[in-house]
Structure 1
Amino acid sequence: MTASTTAQDRPASTRPRPRGRLSDTAGPLEKAFKAVVLTVACALVIIPFLGIVSTSVAPADQVTNAGGFVLLPREVDLTAYRSILSGGVVSRALLISILVTGVGTALSLVLTAMLAWALSRRGTVGNRAMLLLVLVSLLFSPGMIPTYLVVRQFGLIDSLWALIIPTAVSAFNVIVVRAFFANLPEELIDAARIDGATEWQIFRRIALPLSRAVLAVVGLFYGVGYWNAFFNALLYINDAAKWPLQMVLRTYVVNGTEMGASEMGTVVEHAPQQTTIQMAILVISIVPIVIVYPFLQRHFAKGVLTGAVKG
């Protein structure tokens, strides 16, 4: 046995620790500090949301005594939800938002996938010119006034299509999906062509099934965008009966306009407080995205990173 020993022969206590692993070198104080910071960050997110939900279901007298913000209600009172979901402005706006989000997300996914597939195939006629056009639209916005003139020229003012068509295709999402398609194995596509598959069959039976992860993430981006959009409705929708939920949220929560019995659609025996109604509208506008997000979260790393980094 030689005098010099290798690193494997040394006792575990004397071996040098690998650098770059904070979990091995962090002391008790550092771990405690990280735990405190994480706890505070979670509290900053959870407490306001909990307060909104609690205030929306708290009795009117408790909301008044608490100054408009209740963290823990003494009892659950659903009068505010029954009032705004009984066929009034909020019920109609909720249905419009669901319709716009569903139709808009489906249309956006179809157009984005088809355009991205065409741009990912190098033999496509006008491939470079179309890709350059997509990149230019990503860097330079057309502006509010030209977009409004185009929407008016096509007769989409006061039409729900004005909330869908102007934002139907996102250049960023097209680039992400194109990068994913470009990284599909060429051997698989060549084998399908040898078997006699057309370009449409390759796209529908091979490319789309393999791209479920990236399409799920892009679909979430489109869905959240349609659900939260209010500026297009502010510009293009003059009829209050066609307002989406976010316009109602802006009118009765942000601007503080009081909602009367005609807007609620019914006359209740004990009218809920306006603060309770506002918090209930907030909850209704948040809950759908909160429900959908966990089901698509597992696709984020595979979908976006594969499409963006490898491309």
Structure 2
Amino acid sequence: MSNKTQEFGASHHLIRYLTLRQIQVFEAVARYSSFTKAAEALHLTQPTVSTQIKSFQESLDVPLYEQIGRNIYLTDVGEEVAYSCRQVIDVLSNLEMKLNDFKGMRKGRLRIAVVTTAKYFLPLALGEFSKNYPDIELSFTVCNRETILSRIEENLDDLYIMGQKPPSSLDAVVIPFAPNPLVFIAHRDHPLVGEKNISLKRIADEPVLMREVGSGIRSAVEERFHNQGLVINERLTLEGTETIKHAVFGGLGISVVPKHSLYIEGVEGPLAILDVEGFPLAKELNIVYPTGKSLSILSTEFLEFLLEKGAEYFQTNNT
């Protein structure tokens, strides 16, 4: 056997012994951290998934995961392999979209992950966009900033929408998108409603409902109080803007939410915006994706759609 033939065999071991099905199955197991959920998502039996994963790991000859009870935990190598599997799947998905486009078919997969702030307008934008792509497969994930950053690192989605820009240590493309002012709210019967230019020191005496650790809104509020040398009188920590709004309505305290999240209640609703010094906090939403990521045809078109028309949905929902 020639040296060139030996080199080919060594460098193409994975091509010879791995299958696309194994790559798809392992990516699903890594994404769901579960054989059962991966089987359900791929419409396979759990024994089939287990067999595919066993063959996949034997071909790579490295430990990819640990199983403790029913939970799957990827090893460091497993994380790297899962990332590469997603890249392979993305390339093939993009190819499929190109082929469908040549055939006059408008199909594909679009995966979007957003912070809770964006969940109020993005469904409207997705609904309008999908009118031209009725057969596309949509994935829409809502989570806090910390989870978004993890999803970016793991390359789980096509595009991300978040408030605060990602840290410089995360190599990503950041496109400013729309204003996202943060306001203090209280029950409409609260004594502070109607007062002008309420000092932050006065607000510090009020019980405040805070978002969970990892939330961009929490970080922004904490920074504002810290800069004024004040301590937040935190009464409760709650997940999600809607939970916060219900708690404020229940009289448990005041809180900070995105202004546009109040559009359903309207200006005469049960919640009122407080006139607090330094507020609204001037924040913005950003469209983010990893630097070097090869955007699919569909995600590129959705990005262009958002930049052209998406902010209109956002502005419409501001009160």
Quick check: TM above 0.5?
no
Greater C-alpha radius of gyration: 1
Larger RCO, structure (CA 8 Å, separation 6 or more): 1
* Structure with greater proportional strand content: 2
In which range does the TM-score fall when normalised by the shorter chain?
A: under 0.3
Normalising to structure 1: TM-score of the pair?
A: 0.20
Normalising to structure 2: TM-score of the pair?
A: 0.20
